[in-house]
Amino acid sequence: MSDRLKKQSVFTGYLFAIGATALWSGNFIVARGLSDNIPPVSLAFYRWTVAVIVFTPFAIKNLLQEWPIIKKHITYFSITSFLGITTFNTLIYFAGKTTTAMNLSLISITFPIFIILFSRFLYEEVLTVKKGSGITLVLVGVLFLITKGKISTLLNISFTIGDVWMLTAAIIFAIYSLLLKNKPEGLSIKALQLSTFILGLLFLFPFFLWEQLTVHQSFLNQTTIPAILYVGIFASLCAFVLWNQSIIILGPSKAGMVYYTLPLFSGFLGYLFLNEKISMIHFYSMILIFSGIIATNHESTSGR
């Protein structure tokens, strides 16, 4: 491949990664914007219902062909689906009821740090001084954000509950990501994704049924339906396709760095559609979190 074509390919890869990240940022806007219009479990259930319906024609062939692998490792798929689909995304929608879209996105990008921490204890990966410093910066940035710049708040344990839910979601997503590293051999990405979508939706159904029986109200209307279609089609299927294409072109490390621009998109969209304010606390928190993540990623890249 000539240098010109290679540059064009890399440029396309970054466009795909940016597109996926921008689409994912819209999920936080929906989580915050619909917090008073539809309960969290119902929003998650409708999202994955749409995702399964739309994704099935593209992946059903792979799923049927690789069903013996899925059946053999059904415990693995059940745990992965419950964490990554049922729990993680539902917690985002719970968090959106009491915190801003900017906070949601800033806290969400901390999950790579938890991956490093868990890898240290589970796989005995070396935790260097540079990685330790990076993790410290990220944690300070998160604490600065959720305490509104008043670290003394820690003494009273009075965080915004939405920030705590989002931090819990980030930890769960880190565990989910580690599980994906150990996916069964011979399984395609399409089969993996569709199987986890379906299982996660099945696990979510009892909670959805309980919520519907408790609330006694239909939430499908001209406001919620377009948003559900967005998170089901664009924030799920389209973002997934774009992200995988970017990884094929750029590799996971370079594509992963683009993901850290998520707060920029969410902050702009939150300001545009939700009238959310962007303060200096967000700016300082972003500097701390970005600095920490870049430090830890630089270490992992240079150490290869």
CA atoms within 13 A on the CB side of 136: 7
Residues with Cβ within 8 Å of 81's Cβ and at least 6 positions away in sequence, in order, are: 195, 196, 197, 198, 199, 200, 203
pLDDT averaged over 10-residue windows placed end to end, the chain, 304 residues = 68 86 86 83 92 93 95 94 92 88 78 75 71 75 69 58 89 84 84 92 95 80 89 86 79 67 77 77 78 66 42
Of the candidates 5, 69, 47, the residue with the CA atom closest to the CA atom of residue 231: 47
CA dihedral 97, 275, 291, 25 (to 10 degrees): 60
Per-residue confidence (pLDDT) for residue 1, from 0 to 100: 54
Per-residue confidence (pLDDT) for residue 304, from 0 to 100: 39
Contacts 24+ apart (CB under 8 A), 181-189: 182/76, 183/76, 184/69, 184/72, 184/73, 184/76, 186/66, 186/69, 187/66, 187/69, 187/70, 188/62, 188/66, 189/244
Residues with Cβ within 8 Å of 215's Cβ and at least 6 positions away in sequence, in order, are: 39
- Is the alpha carbon torsion for 90, 30, 143, 125 positive or negative? positive
Rg (CA), the chain: 19
Q: Which pTM does this prediction carry?
A: 0.76
Give yes or no for a contact between 172 and 183, defined as CB atoms under 8 angstroms apart.
no
Residues with Cβ within 8 Å of 139's Cβ and at least 6 positions away in sequence, in order, are: 110, 113, 292
The Cα angle at residue 163 between residues 161 and 166, in degrees rounded to 5 = 110
Residue 126 and residue 23: Cα distance in Å, rounded?
Answer: 34
Per-residue confidence (pLDDT) for residue 18, from 0 to 100: 87
Q: What DSSP string describes 91-153?
A: HHHHHTTTS-HHHHHHHHTTHHHHHHHHHHHHS-----HHHHHHHHHHHHHHHHHHTTT-GGG
